[in-house]
Structure 1
Amino acid sequence: MRDLLRSVWNEPQAPDPPRRSWRDWALVGAFVGLAIIEGIVRQDLPHRIVWVPVAVAILPALLWRRSRPLPMVTVAFTGSAAATVLLGGEQSGIGAMGAMLLLPYALYRWGSGRDIVMGSAVAFTTAGIAMLAGDVRVGDAIAGFLVLSAAVALGLAFRYRARAKVRERERIKLIERERLARDLHDTVAHHVSAMAIRAQAGLATAETTPGAAVDALRLIEAEAASTLAEMRTIVRVLRRNRPVDDGDHTPGIADLASLAAQAGAGPSVEVEVDGEIADLPPALGTAIYRLAQESVTNAVRHARNATRIEVHVTTDDASVRLLVRDDGDGGPARSAGAGYGLAGMVERAGLLGGTCRAGPNPERGWTVTAVLPRERAAT
């Protein structure tokens, strides 16, 4: 209970309260005018000579209800209760005083935890004193407190709704950051790894075979161009207010053959696709490509003495299955290579309702398997 009270007391003020605008001035002007008109027209209004000035003096508190809710609640409710007590319990008949309900609403909507606790004590205490001084009937007192509580509940409801929207925006931002991290890892890490391997091969053969170094530079240039193209595609997707060019290409299963072409001097990459891929959802095709790309990159970087990498995709009416297998050595270095890559692969598969697993083969090599359902990706 103590922790709950402490959390309420330390609740920060709601962020970004609306600034005072002409609408607030118009609202106050309308209620002040209503109070004056009511005081002139209603001859039966008790102590109207007092209550009209009190209403006119209190209503401007609405102008600061969002920026300074506690002082405005204190001024308005204390002033109204003091007038009631001084007038021998005569309640205000000014209908414009109903605008005071906007103050407790603003207190709970925009105030901090301390403001809410202290403002609630002021509002309910002064309201109770005014009712006791005016000898208000029990039914009317209950109705008054219910109306005041309704304003409080409305303020809390809108405060909770605003916080829920903020949490949802933060959740969406987190998802976008995670997706960006996966895309950057899958694209940049793959191409940079290929460039590093080819640069090492070019340096190793530069003295004995000068032409090999030139070929390595050409391959590095091609990898760099591919990296820049995919980075531009990612940036265009993130900037959703800009149209995507017709030349932009999101890779899919049909592009898996490029993984074999990019193998270079490393282990050979064999790609096999069984089943129809023309009607696959684009998100599903891209996910399969990224999973295969990351698996091949890990195999090239970490599978020692590997000579062959198999990429096998099977499609049917329900799902798409990916299998990437190599014949390299395992060991601690291979397991350490999982890192963010494997975590990103599992996340990517999970977002589409699928699974992704990776581990050593019983005898030799490493296998990655992924199963992605068609139905989830289509939605």
Structure 2
Amino acid sequence: MHTVGRSIWHEPRPADAPPIGRLDWLLVGVLAAAASVEGIARPDVAWRPLVTVLALALVPALLWRRSRPLVAALAGWGGAGLLSVLQLVTHAGDLGLYSMMGVLILLYSLVRWGSGREIVLGTAFVTVVVTLGMYASSGGWTDVFGGSVLLLSLVALAAVFRYRADLWHRRQHEIRNQERVALARELHDTVAHHVSAIAVQAQAGGVVAGLQPEKAAEVLAAIESEASRTLAEMRSMVRVLREEEAVAYAPQPGVADLPALARPDATPTVEVSLDGSSVRLAGPVDAALFRLAQESLTNALRHARGATRVGIDLRRDGDAVRLRVSDDGRTEKGPTPEPGFGLLGMAERVHLLGGSLSAGPAPTGGWVVEAVLPVEALP
């Protein structure tokens, strides 16, 4: 039990708390309007001007309920406690506005977004305020039971949502770790395979150099090609290992998955043509071609004005593979705009694999992205 208490006390805040948004401002506006209307329309409330001003002053605390949950809870429930003290001192009647039920949201946010220390301190303070309020209102056992059930249900609901979010993040972290381990194994196997091939070729080169010196140059060229291929694949895999976002690691989609991008019945239509691209490609090249086609298609669907067709063509061109993604959308007259981060990232990926990338408006209209990558067929 002592260990559980210590773990709750040291529990950090959730890292995925959203910033203040439009719904937060809408909530504040609605509660402020409700407090103003109640202050005017409810003559049964004692000390109406003071109670209304206090309610309006506490409403903005809802904006801090995720960034500063303990401060917001202390402010909101402190106001409720102040009304209870005033009720005890003055023996006045009802001092509460229905709009002040917004403090329940602050309690929920405290448990959902606060750290363990904030939750313990905040709930203890809320317990004192609730007890004081029940004593001041002289509520019966039914009121005490109903209020306690409501508060405990709210705390339990916040805890459930907090636990579910934490469990989801843990699962995502485990999945990323498993994928990185799988990719690390693939990197090890790839390097071992190519280094073994280099070692065999170097040994053969030593034999050939003594018998046929003219063949030594061919062996050295083969070793250079194998080493360059190894470095390219290592760069590609290590770059993926460094990525923080979850991506599809193994198996990665490749050329064989390009037909899935076709949309014959949509607008614009997407047509995929594969000609001579069934050759076995190195893993990084295969994955890069699919990513380039997918990203180019996404850009075309998002930015091509009035496009009716997007074509994805992949063709074998000697020792290279040529990918062309084009659309028939309208292009703006004037200088070609500077490439965005998407195109720069695509170009960097292509250059790392020893290829080239061009993107720009076509002479006949529309936009064309063309990438040329070495085949580098695996043995």
TM-score interval, smaller chain: 0.5 to 0.7
Please say if residues 233 and 249 of structure 1, whose CA atoms lie closer than 8 Å, have aligned partners that are also in contact.
no
**Which segments of 5 or more consecutive residues in structure 1 lack a partner in the other structure?**
253-379
Contact 2:69 2:110 in 1 (8 A): yes
CA contact (8 A) 2:44 2:94 kept: no
- Unaligned ranges ≥5, structure 2: 241-246, 259-273, 284-379
1: CA distance, partners of 2:193 / 2:250: 24
Q: Deviations over 1:183-216 (max 9, x none)?
A: 2122221012111221133135423432453453
Indicate how the Cα distance of structure 1 residues 211 and 92 shifts in structure 2: closer, same or farther if over 3 A, else same. Answer: farther
Q: 1:160 to 1:199 in 2, by over 3 A?
A: same
3-state SS of 1:207 partner: helix
Counterpart Cα distance in 2 of 1:61 and 1:33: 15
Q: Which amino acid letter does the alignment assign opposite residue 155 of structure 2?
A: V
Q: C-alpha distance in 2, partners of 1:67/1:29?
A: 19
Partner residue of 1:113?
Answer: 116
Of 125, 140, 161, the residue aligned with 1:137 is 140
Select which of 158, 177, 182 maps to 2:180. 177
1:219 is displaced (CA, Å) by 4.0
CA distance in 1, matches of 2:94, 2:144: 12
Matches within 5 A, 1:63-82: 63-82=63-82
1:29 to 2:29 alignment: yes
1:8 corresponds in structure 2 to 8
Closer/same/farther in 2, CA of residues 181 and 96 from structure 1, 3 Å limit = same
| Equivalent-residue separation in structure 2 for 1:67 and 1:83 (angstroms) | 26
Mapped contact 1:191–1:227 kept (Cα < 8 A): yes
Corresponding letter in the other structure for 1:125: V
How far apart, in 1, do the equivalents of 2:99 and 2:228 lie?
A: 71
**What code does the residue aligned with 2:198 have?**
M
**Equivalent residue, structure 2, for 1:158:** 161
Whole-angstrom distance in 1 between the partners of 2:108 and 2:252 = 37
Number of equivalent positions: 252
Q: Hey, what's the Cα distance between the residues in 2 that align with 1:249 and 1:230?
A: 15
Distance 1:240 1:203, change over 3 A: closer
1:126 aligns with 2:139: no
Pick closer, same or farther for the CA change 1:65–1:180 going to 2, 3 Å.
same
| 1: CA distance, partners of 2:229 / 2:17 | 47
Aligned equivalents of 1:151, 1:75: Cα separation in 2: 19
| 1:293-331 superposed Cα distances (whole Å, 9 cap, x missing partner) | xxxxxxxxxxxxxxxxxxxxxxxxxxxxxxxxxxxxxxx
Residue in structure 2 matched with residue 188 of structure 1 by the alignment? 191
Give me the TM-score of the superposition, normalised by structure 1: 0.59
Any idea what the Cα deviations from partners look like across 1:41-70, whole Å, max 9, x if unmatched? 223334433322221122221111111111
Larger Rg over CA atoms: 1
- Whether the 8 Å contact between 1:131 and 1:141 is mirrored in structure 2 is yes
What does residue 315 of structure 1 align with? none
After superposition, give the CA deviation of every residue in 1:56-112 in whole Å (9 maximum; x if it has no partner). Answer: 122221111111111221122122122122123644441111111111111111111
Percent of pairs with identical residues: 42
- CA deviations on 1:100-150 (whole Å, 9 max, x unpaired) are 111111111111111001001001111111111221111111111211122
Alignment-derived partner of residue 200 in structure 1: 203
Structure 1 residues 1-379: aligned runs within 5 Å: 1-88=1-88, 90-221=93-224, 223-224=226-227, 227=230, 238=249, 244=255, 247=277, 249=280
Distance in structure 1 (CA, Å) of the matches to 2:193 and 2:254: 27
What is the root-mean-square deviation of aligned Cα atoms in Å? 3.1
Amino acid in the other structure paired with 1:104:
L
Structure 2 counterpart of 1:199, which letter? A
Q: Distance in 2 between matches of 1:213 and 1:243?
A: 36
Name 2:308's counterpart in structure 1. Answer: none
Deviates more, 1:217-226 or 1:48-57: 217-226
Q: Residues 14 and 237 from structure 1, CA distance in 2 versus in 1: closer, same or farther, beyond 3 angstroms?
A: closer
